[in-house]
Amino acid sequence: MAENSGIPDGRFPATRWSLVARAGDEDPQARREAMETLLPKYLSALVAHVQYRWSSPREQAEDLVQGFVANVVLEKELIATADQQRGKFRTLLLTALDRFVSNQFRGQRAKKRCPAAGPLRPYDERLAVEKAVPDPSLAFDVEWARTVVAEALQRMCGECRASNRMDVWEVFRCRVVEPLMEGAAVPDYREIVQRFGFQSPSQASNVLITGKRMYARLLKGVVAQYAGGGCDSESEIRGLQATLARYGR
């Protein structure tokens, strides 16, 4: 169970500018420590981006991202060029990543024309064609949203367990999470009352409302933790929600 300091699966692609700043530090030790903290949070979303935008199999996408991290982020010190005032860190990362992947595919094509230059890995020309996507960073945003939501839910479950209020978690899970995330039928009021033995509508509503408020608080907390001290977490969430809403149905 991830608690306040935990990041499930080492993922979280939101910009934490304090870390970005340290990753661009002139002190190599500080730089390495910041990078070690910062990079794992982005890897999953970067891999998802390559998989989707470049129609890349998972393994190939992971190789490409590893290559990108080693050759561009670390060697060319990409993070040192990041500037909070110029926009989102993830935009900088994605632009550089796409340029790197494009160069890799171009290089593979050149090698294919000249086999003597070295061993060839199996390569499908189709993969080199950028997929027409409505928003190039959608893959990244979806992975980010998934991670944020998963972490908020994990924290909520942990908080409910710690405070011996699993009824709050269970009601929220069956009334909100399962219908929204898994397409489960929404249990009606009568089912909820029978299942949890509530004595009155006030009691049932209190539990559901407490769960909704707790989730909203934790969701904002997750975003605030990683998006920097000056971050307006509500705006961040609304912006991400609006982006996803445009492409959902």
Partner 1 sequence: MPMQPEENFDPLHITSLSRMLDLEATSHSGAWSPADFPAILDHQLAAALESELAGMDFEVSLKLEAWRRQSDHRLESFADLLTHPRPPLELLETVKQFAKRHRSSQDATLPPEIATALYFACIAVGLTRLGRRITRMDDDALRGGVRWALDQQWIDEPVRDVLHEAAVLLGAGDG
Give the residues lining the site for partner 1 (CB under 8 A): 48, 51-52, 58, 138-139, 142-143, 145-146, 148-150, 176-177, 180-181, 183, 188-190, 193, 198-202, 204-206, 208-209, 212-213, 215-216, 219-220, 234, 237-238, 240-241, 244-245, 247-249
> Residue 226 Cβ, how far from partner 1 at the closest point, in Å?
15
Angle at 218 between CA 240 and CA 153, to 5 degrees: 85
Residue with Cβ nearer partner 1 (68 or 172): 172
Residue with Cβ nearer partner 1 (166 or 245): 245
Close Cβ partners of 140 (under 8 Å, ≥ 6 residues apart): 13, 45, 46, 48, 49, 90, 94
Residue with Cβ nearer partner 1 (94 or 142): 142
> Residue 205 Cβ, how far from partner 1 at the closest point, in Å?
4
Residue with Cβ nearer partner 1 (80 or 128): 128
Close Cβ partners of 196 (under 8 Å, ≥ 6 residues apart): 167, 170, 171, 204, 207
> Residue 70 Cβ, how far from partner 1 at the closest point, in Å?
23
Close Cβ partners of 70 (under 8 Å, ≥ 6 residues apart): none
> Residue 135 Cβ, how far from partner 1 at the closest point, in Å?
11
Residue with Cβ nearer partner 1 (78 or 174): 174
> Residue 195 Cβ, how far from partner 1 at the closest point, in Å?
13
> Residue 154 Cβ, how far from partner 1 at the closest point, in Å?
11
Residue with Cβ nearer partner 1 (23 or 219): 219
> Residue 243 Cβ, how far from partner 1 at the closest point, in Å?
8
Residue with Cβ nearer partner 1 (25 or 130): 130
